[in-house]
Amino acid sequence: MPDVSFVLPLVLQSALLPFAVALVLLVAGRRRFGAAAPVVAAAAGFLASYFATLHAQWSPLPKVALDWVPLIVVAGAVAALVTENIRHAPARRLARLTVSLAAAALVVWPALQSLGAPKAALATLAIGVLVAAAWTLKAHAAARRPTPPLMLAVVAGGAGLTLMLDSSQSIGQLNGGLASVLAACLAFNVPRVRAAFSPAAAGLAVLMLGVLLANAHLYAGFSLGYVALLVAAVVADPLLSAFRRARPEGSDAAGWATAAVLTAIPVVVTIGLAVKAAQDSGGY
């Protein structure tokens, strides 16, 4: 059995605290913040987890790549709310791409010396375009069905477990914090008392997940294969939904269950590969 003194801080920092903060803000802020409540709750819950985990290392004047994360979350929350209120779809997509590219640039910037300018530019572009595309798909999904927080929580949780086994416990813990915040949003996303998981909330969640995975790949050697599997998990739900719109059959519940399974498969495969790699190397 794992030592409690090791596991307890992890559970507190990455599960209980972000879940509680997000839930309290969803309950208290539902009337005050209206549609912005899930965005505020997600950002605050994640920041609580971040500072509980990395408070001793964080510098308000960013020195390391992870120092940028709280600033990206705050700016990203504001940007997501503004972006999702833009009426014209092309302008909204352009705004998503701009925000995603800006966040990607901040993540890649500290690695400029190691990567070199061409690779850094390519990485920024790839991260920005992927995040913007996933944001668009998830925002679209959030406006139509309640599945995005569950699917994103599964991916973030899986990424967290994989990172804990693979390379970086701190980035793994932050993914765990994001998963817990999304779980709170999911728990509150029920009829009557619900604060709907808005497109802006979905956009912020995708942005946070993208920033964490980019950090993991660039700075902690998190393999591109794992990232590809997790990206596949993120887009499984919207792709299935598009397929079902083309061939409408079966109930919504059956569709959501299928989407959950299709999301879970690449996540489980990612965790399984990380467990095998850890076992093969003898663990430590």
Partner 1 sequence: MSISTTRRSISLALAVAGLAFSAASMAAAPAPAGNYKIDAAHSVAYFEVGHLGGVSRFMARFNDISGDLVVDAAPEKSKIKVDVKTDSIDSKHEGLDKHLKSPDFFNAVQFPTMTFTSSAVTLNAAGEGTVAGNLNLHGVTKPVTFRLRHVGSGKGMKGEQRVGYVATATIKRTDFGMGYGVPGAATDEVDLRINIEAIKQ
Scan residues 98-127 and list those touching partner 1 (CB under 8 A): 110-111, 113-115
Least spacing, CB of residue 222 vs partner 1, in Å: 9
- Would you say 222 and 213 are in contact if contact means Cβ atoms under 8 Å apart? yes
Number of DSSP helices (H) and strands (E) in the chain, helices first: 12, 0
* Among 39-47, 50-58, 137-145, 233-241, the segment contacting partner 1 (CB under 8 A): 50-58
Q: Residue 233: phi, psi to the nearest 5?
A: -65, -40
* Residue placing its CB nearer to partner 1 in the complex, 6 or 247: 6
Q: Residue 192: phi, psi to the nearest 5?
A: 75, -60
Please enumerate in sequence order all residues whose Cβ is within 8 A of that of 62, keeping only pairs 6 or more positions apart, or say none. Answer: 68, 71, 110
* Residue placing its CB nearer to partner 1 in the complex, 251 or 281: 281
- Would you say 172 and 162 are in contact if contact means Cβ atoms under 8 Å apart? yes
4 binds partner 1 (CB under 8 A): no
Rounded Cα distance, 279 and 284, in Å: 9
64 binds partner 1 (CB under 8 A): yes
Least spacing, CB of residue 282 vs partner 1, in Å: 7
Of 189, 171, 160, nearest to 42 by C-alpha is 189
159 binds partner 1 (CB under 8 A): no
Scan residues 163-182 and list those touching partner 1 (CB under 8 A): 166-171
57 binds partner 1 (CB under 8 A): yes
284 binds partner 1 (CB under 8 A): yes
Rounded Cα distance, 205 and 149, in Å: 8
277 binds partner 1 (CB under 8 A): yes
* Residue placing its CB nearer to partner 1 in the complex, 110 or 203: 110
* Residue placing its CB nearer to partner 1 in the complex, 112 or 196: 112
- Would you say 202 and 135 are in contact if contact means Cβ atoms under 8 Å apart? yes
Residues lying near partner 1 in the complex (CB under 8 A) are found at 5-6, 54, 56-57, 59, 63-66, 110-111, 113-115, 166-171, 215, 218-221, 277-278, 281-284
